[in-house]
Amino acid sequence: MITPSARITNFVANLVMLLAVVVLLGAGGYWLIHRPMFNLTRIVIEPMKGNKLEYVSPASIQQTIAGKLKGNFFTINLPESKKLFEQSPWVRHADITRVWPDGLLLKIEEQEPFAYWNERQMINTWGEVFTANQAELPEDADLPQFNGPVGSEMLIVQRYAELVRWLAPLNLGVDEITLSDRYAWRVELNDNTKLVLGRDPGADALNPHGGQGAVSFASTIERFVQAWPVLKEKVAGRQIAQVDLRYTKGFAITFEPAATTQSDSKEKK
């Protein structure tokens, strides 16, 4: 007959053995997953959408993660690593999966530059601001210049799209568009004509100064588009430097100074 004390002794002995096995398995597992064969030695980079990567390179990725990527095949923190990879210039989004036994598959959604933003940044085709080396753009890159207060980039992208649509029948394009700190618009066209459009009631949600007295952006541009062909005919080839559209029933124009010819210069001497 097994006494109660013997049962307790057997239970304790079995528990100790079980704990010993667990400890051994844990130690063995720790030893195994930290073998050098599981160290991350390769990163395969692919475009997320199947397109060719134009700006992201293995070198730029390596520069971003150097000394910062922690863990091996088993222990790497994928969400934290994703954030690290997305700090690389030209990377908009990154997806990471493990590749047995020592690699990672990195799928990249690359930034698609749409415009220059203020002095050193760019805006992508989603209307988001990002920072990357502008010198890496193709030599034939023809991006407009956008300028504006922080947080106004989406509004400027919207207004740019409206301008392009309105100006297309005139064969005019936009080289630069600026929203001032007081939320007034200035536009430079691709023929060097500058448009002064004033404040925009559509920017009221962003504008801390209010939009009192502002004229509808669309109605201002429409007025310019309707008058421009007739105006160009009347000025008989003279170069218009600026069109001030801040008036409700018309606009003011400024001409470029008349060029001084070589013969005129000689006569003045």
User: What was the pLDDT predicted at 258?
Assistant: 73
- Angle made by CA atoms 55, 60, 62, in degrees to the nearest 5: 145
For residue 9, pLDDT over 90 is answered with no
DSSP-derived letter for residue 3 is -
Q: What is the pLDDT of residue 264?
A: 44
What is the chain's mean pLDDT, rounded? Answer: 85
Report the range of poorest mean pLDDT among 58-62, 74-78, 236-240: 236-240
**Residue 266: band (very low, low, confident or very high) from pLDDT cuts 50, 70, 90:** very low
Question: CA nearest 32: which of 67, 72, 70, 76?
Answer: 72
Q: Which of 10-14, 33-37, 143-147 has the lowest mean pLDDT?
A: 10-14
- Above 60 in pLDDT, residue 205? no
Mean local confidence (pLDDT), 184-190? 96
Residue 151: the pLDDT is 92
- 89-103, 155-169, 244-258: least confidently modelled range: 244-258
Among candidates 111, 110, 148, which has minimal Cα distance to 128? 111
Q: Is the pLDDT of residue 206 over 70?
A: no
pLDDT number for residue 248: 81
CB of 97 closer than 8 Å to CB of 104: yes
Is residue 120 within 8 Å of 90, Cβ to Cβ?
Answer: no
Task: Report the percent of the chain where pLDDT is more than 90.
Answer: 64
- Residue 27 tokens, joined: 């130690």
- The more confidently predicted of residues 137 and 261 is 137
Flag the least confident range among 29-33, 147-151, 230-234, 252-256.
29-33
For residues 46-62, average pLDDT: 90
The pLDDT confidence band at residue 134, using thresholds 50, 70 and 90, is very high
* pTM of the model as a whole: 0.81
Q: Is 28 exposed, middle or buried (0-12, 13-18, 19+ CB in 10 A)?
A: exposed
- Please compute the mean of the pLDDT values over residues 211-223 and round it to a whole number: 74
Mean pLDDT over residues 3-12, rounded? 68
Are residues 211 and 204 in contact, defined by beta-carbon separation less than 8 angstroms?
Answer: yes
Burial of 234 (0-12, 13-18, 19+ CB in 10 A): exposed
Q: Is the pLDDT assigned to residue 42 strictly greater than 90?
A: yes
Question: Two tokens at 255?
Answer: 């001409």
Q: 144-255 belongs to which CATH class?
A: alpha beta
- How far is Cα of residue 78 from the mean position of the Cα atoms in its chain? 23
Burial readout 143-161 (b: 16 or more C-beta within 10 A, e: otherwise): ebebbbbeebbebbbebbe
Q: Which sequence spans correspond to the domains of the chain? A: 38-110, 144-255
Residue 269's pLDDT is what? 36
**Fold of the 38-110 domain:** Ubiquitin-like (UB roll) (3.10.20)
Mean pLDDT of the 171-188 span: 95
| Domains 38-110 and 144-255 equal at CATH topology level | no
